[in-house]
């Protein structure tokens, strides 16, 4: 039986896979070449790259119509740049909330002896749903 998943959610999921790949690629490149042994800074750089990728893919593909409609309300280049900067910061806040939720759900699940893989899947599913809902409702609004 095939599930009828809305295209926007499929796009969001694929964008998430790409964002994770960007995050991990930056992390591994930095920790194994540029900053050996400095995992925290490499992870921070990877996270920034992943969120930046998320913003670009969400604004330009997943929620493109809403983003374009909002952006076109600004007549000047400066106005458009301020708008894009504000939307980027909103995206950072959403993904920060999603990461915190992911951590809380994972930790709670592990606390009650949920198997590791199940806890990871549950935490990922929760943050996926919340990230999509917040971006759709507050960041990329039509």
Domain limits, the chain: 7-139
Cα–Cα distance measured from residue 23 to residue 32, given in angstroms and rounded to the nearest whole number? 14
pLDDT per residue of the chain (142 residues) written in tens, 0 to 9? 567 889 999 999 999 999 999 999 999 999 999 888 888 899 899 999 999 999 999 999 999 999 999 999 999 999 999 999 999 999 999 999 999 999 999 999 999 999 999 999 999 999 999 999 999 999 999 8
Q: What is the mean pLDDT of the chain?
A: 94
- DSSP code per residue over 53-74: HHHHHIIIIITHHHHHHHHTT-
Q: Is the Cα dihedral 34, 36, 38, 43 positive or negative?
A: positive
């Amino acid at each position: 039986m095939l599930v009828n998943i809305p295209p926007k959610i499929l796009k969001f999921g694929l964008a998430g896979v790409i964002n994770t790949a960007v995050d991990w690629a930056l992390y591994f490149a930095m920790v194994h070449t540029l900053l050996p042994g400095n995992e925290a800074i490499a992870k921070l750089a990877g996270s920034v790259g992943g969120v930046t990728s998320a913003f670009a893919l969400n604004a330009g593909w997943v929620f493109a119509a809403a983003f374009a409609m909002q952006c076109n309300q600004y007549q000047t280049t400066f106005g458009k740049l301020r708008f894009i900067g504000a939307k980027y910061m909103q995206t950072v806040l959403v993904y920060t909330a999603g990461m915190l939720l992911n951590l809380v759900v994972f930790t709670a699940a592990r606390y009650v002896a949920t198997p590791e893989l199940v806890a990871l899947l549950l935490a990922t599913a929760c943050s996926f749903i919340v990230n999509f809902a917040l971006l759709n409702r507050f960041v990329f609004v039509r």
